[in-house]
């Protein structure tokens, strides 16, 4: 369905990698599908190109490779570029924002300012926008990372909050826009089948994994000052956990959903610094191979300090102190240079209390739900069935919900969904400030303990699934990571 009203989408960092790989391709796909108002305009802001023609040449070169898995529609691409305007702007020159004001002042509709820049520029950009009156009738989109810790996050939020109301601020986490995450809500709250089982009496453990084959990919300077805990756990993994564990909201209104997520984040059991070694594993990849290709150690990557103790892998055991989840361990894991690129949620149900059918029915994981977020988005329910032939021998079978096979409509990419939500003013899939604060508050003891520790991260070879200590942590609870069962 087409967005209801016109818009002016102003993209700061218009020549950056995120704009080229994600934002402009998502806007093109929305345009190609007829989901953008015909009068909507896209205004790219950068300081590298001299004029619109030069910028469109840059877009043609750098954006085209990232659009349309099924091939580029040249007619749609040409009409999409007609939407795109360009403003050359130097952020160090406040007077340049007057040029931006003049460029967008006559354009219709709500203004969306997307800050695809480093977080150090968020506040200067917002203040400059306010200085020329562009903070009215506007929405501001903030990319992660939003700060380095709770203090710096609050400083950014305080400053931005002086210029934009909370209802104007869209803190984006693209994992919340993925189709299986949305379907998780539908499965839980739209069906009587799952909700009665979604509690401590029937769930033995839950795993959330976001694994990457890639390394730092030329971002060594950024990553070495960030690490996996800040880059992935504080936002993506805790957001996914909050959706899995939340109580049913009274409606799907933005604050109803975010109120329930906040209750989960505030119910996370605080980690005692003395226990961190038991419930948290940090690792750093050494030289190894990914699918037969040799890759260097993290410490030799460009921009990384040779003696760096920055973690490229994190595994955590998390507990939620509330009635629904008391005693159920949540295992979170993320890392770079792992054996595969995968993001998935595994809900392991408890085995039957007694089996007349043999030990197979009693083993952990006989019944589980696997929600795959990437690379292919599916939901798979595992259960036991009788094997054909003589005797009562059980085997694992599964029921698949493969979206691309069941629904004729093509799946909408996460950024496309989220950008359409911003334009339409829907906040449910964006992170509220109090959610962000609760997440930072929970991870800070881990950050502090690791910063003060004399122990380096545990080594793991690139192309493996991380340090052995990660598997040992789960073994203490009688379980293992999903891939280890095979």
Phi and psi at residue 353, in whole multiples of 5°? -70, -25
How many Cβ atoms are within 10 Å of 27's Cβ, its own excluded?
28
State yes or no: cis peptide before 375, omega within 30 of 0: yes
Q: Which candidate, 69, 52, 67, 68, places its Cα nearest to that of 15?
A: 52
Is 212 annotated among the ligand-binding residues?
Answer: yes
Is 272 annotated for ligand binding? no
Question: CA 7, CA 101: separation in Å to the nearest integer?
Answer: 15
373 is in an annotated binding site: no
302 assigned binding-site residue: no
Verify whether residue 286 is a known catalytic residue.
no
In 3D, which of 221, 161, 174 has the Cα closest to residue 25? 174
Question: Does the annotation flag 91 for ligand binding?
Answer: yes
Q: Is 231 annotated as a binding residue?
A: yes
336 is in an annotated binding site: yes
Tell whether 144 is in a known binding site. Answer: yes
- Convert 376-402 to b/e letters by CB count within 10 Å (16 or more is b): ebbbbbbebeeeeeeeeebeeeeeebe
From 31, 48, 66, 236, active-site residue: 236
What is the spatial distance between Cα 415 and Cα 22, in angstroms, rounded to a whole number? 7
Sequence ranges of the binding site? 47, 90-91, 144, 174, 178, 212, 231, 336
Sequence ranges of the binding site for substrate? 174, 178, 212, 231, 336
Catalytic residues, which ones? Answer: 236
Sequence ranges of the binding site for NADP(+)? 47, 90-91, 144
């Amino acid at each position: 369905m087409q967005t209801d009203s016109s818009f002016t989408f102003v993209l700061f960092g218009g020549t950056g990698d995120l704009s080229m790989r994600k934002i402009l391709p998502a806007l093109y796909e929305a345009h190609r599908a007829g989901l953008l108002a015909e009068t909507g305009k896209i205004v790219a802001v950068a300081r590298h190109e001299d004029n619109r023609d030069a910028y469109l040449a840059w877009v043609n070169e750098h954006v085209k490779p990232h659009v349309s898995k099924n091939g580029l529609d040249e007619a749609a691409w040409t009409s999409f570029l007609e939407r795109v305007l360009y403003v050359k702007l130097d952020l160090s020159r406040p007077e340049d924002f007057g040029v931006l004001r003049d460029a967008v002042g006559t354009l219709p509709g709500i203004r969306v300012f997307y800050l695809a820049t480093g977080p150090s520029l968020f506040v200067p950009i917002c203040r400059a926008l306010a200085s020329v009156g562009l903070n009215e009738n506007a929405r501001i989109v903030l990319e992660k990372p939003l700060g380095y810790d709770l203090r710096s996050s609050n400083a950014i939020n305080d400053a931005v909050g002086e210029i934009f109301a909370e209802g104007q601020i869209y803190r984006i986490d693209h994992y919340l826009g993925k189709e299986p995450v949305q379907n998780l809500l539908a499965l839980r709250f739209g069906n009587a089948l799952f909700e009665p089982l979604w509690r401590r009496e029937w769930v033995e453990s839950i795993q959330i994994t976001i694994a990457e084959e890639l390394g730092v990919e030329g971002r060594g300077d950024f990553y070495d000052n960030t690490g996996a805990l800040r880059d992935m756990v504080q936002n993506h993994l805790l957001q996914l956990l909050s959706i899995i564990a939340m109580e049913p909201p009274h409606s799907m209104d933005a604050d109803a959903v975010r109120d329930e997520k906040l209750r989960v984040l505030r119910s996370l059991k605080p980690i005692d610094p003395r226990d961190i070694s038991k419930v948290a594993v940090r690792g750093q990849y050494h030289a190894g191979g990914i699918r037969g290709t040799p890759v260097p150690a993290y410490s030799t990557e460009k921009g990384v300090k040779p003696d760096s103790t920055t973690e490229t892998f994190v595994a955590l055991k998390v507990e939620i102190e509330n009635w629904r989840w008391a005693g159920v361990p949540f295992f979170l894991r993320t890392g770079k240079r792992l054996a595969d690129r995968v993001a998935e949620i595994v809900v392991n149900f408890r085995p039957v209390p007694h089996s007349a059918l043999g030990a197979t029915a009693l083993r952990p994981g006989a019944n589980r739900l696997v929600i795959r977020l990437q690379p292919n988005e599916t939901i798979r329910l595992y259960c036991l069935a009788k094997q054909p032939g003589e005797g009562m021998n059980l085997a694992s079978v599964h029921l698949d919900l493969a979206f691309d096979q069941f629904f004729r409509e093509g799946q909408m990419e996460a950024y496309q969904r989220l950008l359409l939500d911003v334009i339409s003013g829907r906040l449910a899939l964006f992170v509220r400030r109090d959610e962000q604060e609760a997440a930072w508050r929970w991870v800070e003891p881990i950050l502090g303990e690791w910063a003060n520790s004399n122990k380096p991260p545990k080594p793991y070879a690139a192309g493996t699934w991380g340090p052995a200590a990660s598997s040992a942590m789960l073994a203490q609870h009688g379980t293992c990571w999903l891939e280890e069962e095979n």
